Structure 1
């Protein structure tokens, strides 16, 4: 079949576009490969904000009156310099019950532990025991500022104040290594970037996604006497 005279330039343009897309497609095929990532993000959730926002849908083990959690671990997330992998192994390998139970003091929800293993843990390249051991080591390397351990009333804060408190409590933690997240009204999370050996590291993209509100509220614990 002969092409119309105008088809030559069009075909050439299509071929050029295909050639330009090949590197992108090749890169996309690598997304979600276990163990291939640049750094971690340790995400600490302000539990009272979660409980207040979710209301009756909140996890009972985390939000009932007898369990007054403050900052808890949301997850330890493998990240790329831009973007992140998730659900790297489907179906996810089995999560042993003893490993799951061992995390409930800092991740107070069975569903949360399971979800984090399936979505993020499978991208770490580690088995479940090793991954959650890394989660605990990461958590233990961060000192929660004293001001946020026993909050017994609503407190208005700026994201900058919270970042400054964490940097003061954690020498070596710089402004481009931490980001505060919010839902527009409440402080929801503090995200701290760590390298693959769990030392603090810079993370430009995470820092760019930080809360932009000037002031946000931190709801209080249900019973500050037992705060964690």
Structure 2
């Protein structure tokens, strides 16, 4: 939908005053190159956050392993966020439906506001796509069976995911770490959820030679 002339005049004035940048104007719904599916290793979050954890994620009989942090629209460098013209609030039912892979309702709401609004999709379709992206990824068996604290190199974790997911390339993912522990696995996908390369994302991976991998239930 085209902006009225008064809106463009206001934007021009804001640009001239330096209050907004051309980068801000570039963040429009649906205008991006690809997605990053970010999978968080839940035991690290539960261990590091202590009393501040979400009890629905960490104080459960069957601890979560990899959960969805988000499905993020990306440029080749950088990413759009909080795109205008989309609803900021979503139905709580969507968060309830996502609990098995995104156990925090506040995270679901935040991910929609920051990232989902830039997808060009409505909330139901965006989170439906998020679920399909999650279901596309085969989690390596070692993470399904892990029951004690271990240690791994970022390259080893990447290799395990590549072997479990034919077509996933070395430069199409990144493993991140936080405070010496496995944090996330980030996988680059086209808008049709095919694997693709993403040099900038790959280069932003963990720089440590190795990190600890907390087991489910660690606190």
Normalising by structure 1, we get a TM-score of 0.83
| Unaligned 5+ runs, structure 2 | 1-15
* Match status 1:131 vs 2:133: no
2:106 aligns to what SS in structure 1?
helix
88-97 or 63-72, which deviates more = 88-97
Match of 1:28 among 23, 29, 32: 23
For 2:164 and 2:176, how far apart are their aligned partners in 1?
A: 19
Contact kept? 1:182, 1:188, Cα under 8 Å? yes
Match of 1:87 among 75, 82, 86: 82
Contact kept? 1:41, 1:192, Cα under 8 Å? yes
Deviation at 1:173, TM superposition (A): 0.3
2:175 aligns to what SS in structure 1?
strand
Contact kept? 1:61, 1:67, Cα under 8 Å? no
Q: How many residues align?
A: 201
| Unaligned 5+ runs, structure 1 | 1-21, 224-228
Normalising by structure 2, we get a TM-score of 0.87
Match of 2:175 among 171, 177, 180: 180
1:203 maps to what in 2? 198
Match of 1:194 among 189, 196, 199: 189
Contact kept? 1:46, 1:70, Cα under 8 Å? yes
Residues 137 and 91 of structure 1: CA distance in aligned 2, closer, same or farther (over 3 Å)? closer
2:116 maps to what in 1? 121
Deviation at 1:28, TM superposition (A): 1.9
- What is the aligned-residue RMSD (CA, Å)? 1.9
